[in-house]
Amino acid sequence: AQSVTQLGSHVSVSEGALVLLRCNYSSSVPPYLFWYVQYPNQGLQLLLKYTSAATLVKGINGFEAEFKKSETSFHLTKPSAHMSDAAEYFCAVRITGANSKLTFGKGITLSVRP
């Protein structure tokens, strides 16, 4: 079975500062990894995904993540935070196959201070 761990529940950064949201995964087979963002009372929007191609993945809104197999990590970063980045962020893992399901981490709330 696969799982993801998102340490901490809340990250606060100043506007313009680096954003780093951590995600570690566990999977017995090569995984697909995802980062989603959720704004209040809305569904999930895909930020980026890793599907065994390039290990450095660039997503929308200036976010990127690097797949590090040796560290079983897929941390999300953005060089300069914007007020509009304040939201809930979920890391998720899925293995290949028709019957595979997304497994979500518990999520991290990102706050951006002016």
Partner 1 sequence: GAVVSQHPSWVICKSGTSVKIECRSLDFQATTMFWYRQFPKQSLMLMATSNEGSKATYEQGVEKDKFLINHASLTLSTLTVTSAHPEDSSFYICSARVKFGRSLVYEQYFGPGTRLTVT
CB nearer to partner 1: give 72 or 100: 100
Q: Is residue 105 at the binding interface for partner 1, with CB under 8 A as the rule?
A: yes
Task: Compute CA distances 89 → 4, 24, 60, 97, 108, whole Å.
Answer: 13, 14, 13, 25, 5
Max CA-CA distance within the chain? 45
Of positions 5, 51, 73, 77, contacts partner 1 by CB under 8 A? 51
Q: Is residue 114 at the binding interface for partner 1, with CB under 8 A as the rule?
A: no
CA 98 – CA 95 distance, rounded (Å): 9
Binding interface with partner 1 (CB under 8 A): 9, 36, 41-46, 51, 90, 96-98, 100-102, 104-107, 109
